[in-house]
Amino acid sequence: MSDTVGHQIAKALADAGVTTMFGVISIHNMPILDALAEQGRIRFIPARGEAGAMNMADAFSRVSGELGVVLTSTGTAAGNAAGAQAEALTAGSRVLHITTQIDRPYMDRDRAAIHDVPKQPQMLQGVSKAVFRIWDEMGVLGTLAAAIRVATTPPSGPVSLEIPVDVQRLPAIPGEAPGAPRPALPPVDEAALDALAKQVKTAKRPMLWLGGGARGAAVEATALVERGFGAVSSTQGRAVVPESHPGTLGAFNMTPEAEAIYERADLMIVVGSRLRGNETRNNRMPLPRPLFQIDVDPTQCGRNYPLDGFLCGDAAQVLAGLLDRLPDALSTDPQFHYDIAVSRSKAEGALRSRLGPYQIVADHLLAVVPTGRHPWVRDVTISNSTFGNRYVHVAAPNLGVHALGGGIGQGIAMAIGAAAASPEARVIALVGDGGAQLGLAELITAVDESLPITFVLMNDAAYGVIENIQDAQYGGRRHFSKLKTPDFGLICQAIDMPHWRVDRIEDFPDTFDAATKINGPSLVEVDMTAIGPFAEPFAGPPAGAAGGKP
């Protein structure tokens, strides 16, 4: 068989360094998938749904640092992936969404062809950094290379690429693929760096606020902390500075203890963070002045806080330039790191006291997750909002994966993507019963692929945080928040996944350890209805979100 455009795309992706793809087979993407299987250079993981496939590609990219690639069909299938793609967009993940289109004579004309969505490009634009289309056999390699370059160039984000099914079947025009395109970075503003370094040299208690955009600057950020800076991180910037370092608050960024540190700090540099509302009380939390910001996206300048200076550039390059301008030891307050360590310890103690019986779960995961360099994947659930996002350490920035945009039901699929990216380590995934029901089908994918994942399912048989909000703000009127939960043990039995149920909290450590020794995936269900509630209910952000305490 002569090579088709489908063969050409499969080969070009492999030549660009793609090792793993996720997706759902369809009549509109079979030319690509047939070629992919025949060539045998890329592992394809078939998801049960397009949303799950997108979450997998997203998590794969976050953990591996490589391009995550997801393949969907056109129309409804592309729409199914949209919510998960919004998560990838929020996280700035390097994802290529190859979706398809109907045959070109019917495309964009609303002629009721099967699987047609006449405004599919407009739909994709809402959840994409950019949208491309391959119109014919002439522009295949160039358009594919452009899509990869845009997805991986900071500020990175998911890019959608439409390929009509009739184009996939056309004979390919021979040509050389450009290889793996290198992202372009803006030049460093040397004068702005000089001015920043001058300010830093006079500061006694300077701080870094580290976001997801600083994940590639761990060496440089840690070096600054070693020279005298203090640090705090967003949940997406965790472990850029090791979370065990006495000079960092970690992600305890909005506690009374953190605010006391900010009040005495005399300079802050925000690196690769949008200062999200749920971590700054919608930007009402006072931050130290002068306040500087480093971001590769020029549109982030002063978006959420007034600034005293902005440097546009890659975090690692800009911080390296700052280090070159500073002495090996800054003239900072020798008490600064001690004060941060005490504040961090107080914040951790206050958190533990709110957990009640679930201190045992949090402490055991803290003892296991970072030491084994396990990817730590979390869905949106009370356990993550309390201890998962900040108390359980991660060993490296790429090993922390969570649903940054706040949508539930993505954790199971994200764990699969993380496991595909790190087969040498066991993924630990924290999920809730409500979210698990949304992503339940992807448990079968984990079994099919025999992926090393231990799921910890916290089952309170309800949307627990919604019930807590209803108690706190709606007079205890619990409408629509109680869930009919399935028997997860029977579900696991039906799909050949080992399952344990913990109804005495003291049994959790040994049960969890046994589950991590299984080859392939396993699930530990913590029966919260039998064990009891947290010592203090977590009711989400304060009503109105603007001014109250967390």
pLDDT band with cut points at 50, 70 and 90 for residue 542: low
Query: Helix, strand, or coil here: 347?
Result: helix
State pLDDT tens for residues 213-257: 999 999 999 999 999 999 999 999 999 999 999 999 999 999 999
| CB within 8 Å of 107: residues ≥ 6 apart | 101, 116, 164
Domains, the chain:
5-169 (3.40.50.970), 190-334 (3.40.50.1220), 342-531 (3.40.50.970)
Whether the per-residue pLDDT at 116 is higher than 90: the answer is: no
Whether the per-residue pLDDT at 541 is higher than 80: the answer is: no
Beta carbons within 10 angstroms of residue 259's beta carbon: 15
State pLDDT tens for residues 308-366: 999 999 999 999 999 999 999 999 999 999 999 999 999 999 999 999 999 999 999 99
Of the candidates 473, 522, 472, 516, which has an alpha carbon nearest to the alpha carbon of residue 497?
522
pLDDT band with cut points at 50, 70 and 90 for residue 545: very low
State pLDDT tens for residues 8-54: 999 999 999 999 999 999 999 999 999 999 999 999 999 999 999 99
Query: Helix, strand, or coil here: 103?
Result: coil
Dihedral of the alpha carbons of 386, 390, 391, 392, in degrees to the nearest 10: 110
State pLDDT tens for residues 159-193: 999 999 999 999 999 887 766 667 778 888 999 99
